[in-house]
Structures are given as structure tokens and as C-alpha cells.
Amino acid sequence: MSKSEKEALFSTKNKKLLTTPLNDENPITVQVLGICSALAVTALLEPAFVLAVAVVAVMGAANVIISVLRHTIPTRIRIIVQLVVIAFLVILVDQVLKAFLYDVSRQLSVFVGLIITNCIIMGRLEAFALGNKVWPSLLDGVGNAAGYGVILIMVAFFRELLGSGTLWGYPVMETLGVYRTGYVDNGFMILPPMALITVGIIIWVQRSFNRKLIESN
Amino acid sequence: MEELTNIFVRSVFIDNMVLAYFLGMCSYLAVSRTVTTANGLGIAVIFVLGFTVPLNYLIENYFLREGAMVWLGPAFADVDLSFLSFILFIAVIASMVQLVEMIVEKFAPALYSSLGIFLPLIAVNCAILGGSLFMQEREYANIAQATSFGIGSGVGFYLAIVGIAAIREKIRYSNVPEPLQGLGITFIITGLMGIAFMSFMGIAL
């Protein structure tokens, strides 16, 4: 991709880098990357949001670092270099979470560490940051991480609302008085398998609106 | 011995890597189109987990934990390097994957050619790093237990991926709603498999 130096910071092409991962190229529902951590932390909104922010931070920074170093990294050892860069950033995030948001950090348990092997990050470093300039790489990283975060927050929203009747710990269902009509929380939504089914339904809805994403069996 | 069997059964069925913790989902979804390839990846994962978990257990207990380095001398008693665990674990995994690849190539060429590209890909499979991180979190008492946990998790992954591959081979002949075809239906089937595996939770070990 050749780009002129004078190109505006938010030219159409750059905007596209930021927005296509939100829908057409969504990392989770289209590229099938980074699902591992996406599902396990989505029972409540707060940890899901924190993880999404952590991934945006790690991914933006990793894309920038790899993009800066892209001419110096020997191709044969690039995977180890990428892993080290990501691991270094994740350690920073982990220490920050432990210091300032200890409860959430406990809830996320191993999933902060698993950002290292989150295939979105590796995938975007390989596919984009190694061959592009710093600014587009940053946009690409933030865009993809945001696409990931959006799905994470959507899944968490439905699971927390239907499963515990709360949103971010605030008892929405009780305030609305839904329980008096005989409504009962569906505890099933909190269990792990429902995360998969929720993502499946999100994919279903997305593809019914965006029919070019439909794949043949 | 009983303890080891318990840990093994627990990690295969109750704490199944894929169906209870969603680890290794990326390769689980990408490599489950046919049973043959799923079989290959499953075996490779058992291999790598069986090696890396005990190895990382040793690193954790002799280098990283607070006071773990006391065998070097009393001056090291309060050294706590546990913040380094991510970077060391992933380095061990990347090099173990490389090593396992070379060993398999030398001593089992048939298996090597059937595994093909999947061996190197395992380095970034979250189930592998997850195995080491869970080992760290659960604080197993000795290396035998850690090994049993590692192999058990691998077998759990194997069961899940071969199961979904068999279902996907069959479902090709079914009439799935268009927007659900491929990825969507695979997610939902995995969810249903997860619900089925949850029935193991009642088993007390």
C-alpha cells in the first residue's frame, strides 16, 4: 500500500481501516479470531468492558511497536519478537489492573494473560503492522480491537440483563418492577454455553442484514 | 494414584478446556471441518500440553514464586518474580512446540506428515497457555499432578474437536438457514455440546 506523505490523518482510506472491523470485517463474527477470551468473561458487563479496553490498549500499542520495528525484525524470528512485544504489553496491563481494579482483575483471572495468545493481535500484527506505516497500523489495531470489544459488550449486555437482571451491577429489572409481573431471571444465561449460543445468534442477526457475509456450507 | 485419576477425569470432562473455558476456540473452529485434520490437531495438542504444563510447573516452583529461589541461597528467600510468568511461559511454549516438532519429525515421520502445519500453529493456541496459567492458579501439589492435569486437558480438547468435526461433516447435508450456515451453526452446536458436558459437573471427585 503506497501512501503519499500529505494524506490527511482521517482520509477515506484511513477511516475505512477504523470502521470495517466493526461490521464487514469483524474479528469475531467474520474473521473468527480471538474467540477464546471473548466468551468466558461476558457473564457480566464490567469485566467484559475492562477486557475490551485492555485489548484496545495492547493491540494499538503492539501494532505501533511492530510497525516501527518492521524493517529491523528478521522475518525468521518475527513470531517470537511479536510474542515478546505482546507479552510485555500484557504484563503492563496486568500490573495496572492489579493495582487499580483489583476485583475485576480477580474476576478476569487467567484471561488477562490470555490476551497474549489472542489470535486477533497476532493476526493483525502479521497481516497488517508488518507491512504498513505507523499511523494506519494504529488505526487498524484500534479498529479491530474495537470490533472485538463491541461484540464482547453486546454479549455481556444480554447475558447480564437476562441472566442476573442487572446492568453494570445496577438492578434494572427490579427498578422497572418486572419481577412483580412474575418474571424470573434466566440463570441459564450466566452459564458458559449460553455465551456461545448468544454469539451464534449475533452472527445470525448480522448475516441476515449483511447478506454478503453468508458462507456456503 | 487416586488423586491423579481424579485430576485427569476432572480436566477431561468437568473443566473441559473448550466447552467449559472456551480456550483454543480459534483453532477449534478453524480446523474442525473434517475429522482427519481435527484428529491430527487433537493429538498434537495432547502432546504439547503434556510437555509444557509440567515444564512450566518446574519453572513456576523453582524460579518464579515468592521464595521459590531459596535453593540458590537464603539471600533469595524473598525474591518474587511471578510478574515474569507470562513471558517465560510463552517462551517455553514456543520453544517446546519447536522441539516437539523436531522430535516427532525424527521418530514418528508418519504422524509428522499427518500433523503438517498444525504443529507450529499450536504455539499461539490459547488452550496451551491457558493450561499453564490454570496450573499456576490452582497450585498443584507436585509435578505428577501437573502432568496429569496437562494430559487431561489435552484429551478434553481432543474429544471436543473430534466431536464437533464429526457433527460438522454430517451437518453439511442438512438444511441450515442461510445466515446461520458455517460459523453461526458451529457456535450454536458448540453451545449445545457445552450444555451436555455441564451434566458432568454434578460428579463429585
What residue ranges of chain B have pLDDT lower than 50?
Answer: none
pLDDT of A44: 83
Contact list, B182 vs chain A (CB under 8 Å)? 214-217
**Domain boundaries, given as residue ranges, for chain B:** 11-202
pLDDT of B148: 92
A191 vs A43: CA distance, rounded Å: 8
CB atoms B180 and A204 under 8 Å: yes
Q: What is the total count of domains within chain A? A: 1
CB atoms B182 and A217 under 8 Å: yes
CB atoms A203 and B179 under 8 Å: yes
pLDDT of B156: 92
Q: Is the pLDDT of residue A8 over 50?
A: yes
Q: A19-66: per-residue pLDDT in tens?
A: 777 777 787 777 777 777 667 778 788 888 888 898 899 989 999 998
Minimal Cα–Cα distance from A35 to chain B, Å? 6
CB atoms B176 and A217 under 8 Å: yes
Name the grid cell of A64. Answer: 505501533
> Which 41-70 residues of chain B touch chain A by CB within 8 A?
none
pLDDT of A4: 44
- The number of beta carbons lying within 10 Å of the beta carbon of residue A109 is 15
Whether residue A75 is contained in a domain is answered as: yes
Q: What is the pTM of this model?
A: 0.79
Minimal Cα–Cα distance from A7 to chain B, Å? 36
CB B187 within 8 A of CB A196: yes
Contact list, A35 vs chain B (CB under 8 Å)? 22, 25-26, 29
pLDDT of B117: 63
Q: A95-130: per-residue pLDDT in tens?
A: 888 888 888 888 777 778 778 777 788 778 878 888
CB of B4 within 8 Å of any CB in chain A? Answer: no
Domain range for residue A166?
A: 30-216
Above 0.90 for ipTM, yes or no?
Answer: no
